[in-house]
Amino acid sequence: MLENISSVKVSDGWHKQYNHNATSTNCSMRFAIFLPPGASESNKVPVLYWLSGLTCTDENFMQKAGAFKKAAELGMAIVAPDTSPRGENVPDEDSYDFGQGAGFYVNATQAPYATHYHMYDYVVNELPRLIEKHFPVTGTKAISGHSMGGHGALMIALKNPQSYVSASAFSPIVNPVNSPWGVKAFTGYLGNDKAVWAQYDSCELMRQAKQSDYLPMLASQGDADNFLEEQLKPEKLINVAKEKNYPLSFEMQAGYDHSYFFISTFIDQHLSFHHKYLQGE
């Protein structure tokens, strides 16, 4: 059952927020959707799924990225889920990088997180089914995200190359098995077996990818990002892409940091990148 909790006209389209009871996460989940002008049952539009970073909700991208005008022009919907399950019964930690707001887009296997923290299943399976059932969209999907969400977008696309036409990321955690953020999250959600962690690591997944499963990928990174050296380490993914001849376009942008000022500057470029493939070009 979908509960509409807000609806605002913007760029001649509509931004709406909804709550629903999710089976994958066993709790109420919130997501936001932007529907461009003209979207209707007789004119269904493709969808870009956006995954946000640590501490974020569905609201950060929708309020700060400045994506609506370009998305309206290109005729694409944008769906932004929350970054984790939430609620009084959902386990949490007094930490910004683990627990609520930090689901890392994995399926947790460790107690007490295994009951609710199945964000991978939610993003890959449950949410798209819900969106395609209740809104005027096609089954054609692209995926993007920022930081932890950049990890999620690239990882999910690499694991499901037939489900998405393209993937992009801003400041992604590309090698979480070797990132302090990733090590903390994967230990808590998945246990100590690093072989299990590898299934959610973009570098490992790209290394294993078959050429028939390659899909176009764009990554943008600011060289003034405080997390660049310790947490993000984009050169690791760049090196794997070169080894595999994977179609990754990587752009280092001078002077930009980890914030939504960076995202808002280059979001139009990312939307245009996805539009090309969402239109089947």
- Which residues are identified as catalytic? 147, 225, 258
Residue whose pair of structure tokens reads 């939307």 in the numeric block: 271
What would the two tokens of residue 232 be?
């993000």
Lookup result for tokens 């009951």: 115
H or E element at residue 244? helix 234-244
Amino acid sitting at position 78:
I
**How far is residue 57's CA from residue 60's CA, in Å, rounded to a whole number?**
6
Q: How far apart are CA 219 and CA 151, in angstroms?
A: 11
Q: What's the longest Cα–Cα distance across the chain?
A: 50
Bridge pairing between strands 77-81 and 27-35: antiparallel
Reading the block at residue 203, the tokens are 């570098």
CB neighbours of 213 closer than 8 A, spacing ≥ 6? 161, 162
Q: Which residues pair with 156 in a beta bridge?
A: none
Give the whole-angstrom CA distance, residue 165 versus residue 57: 25
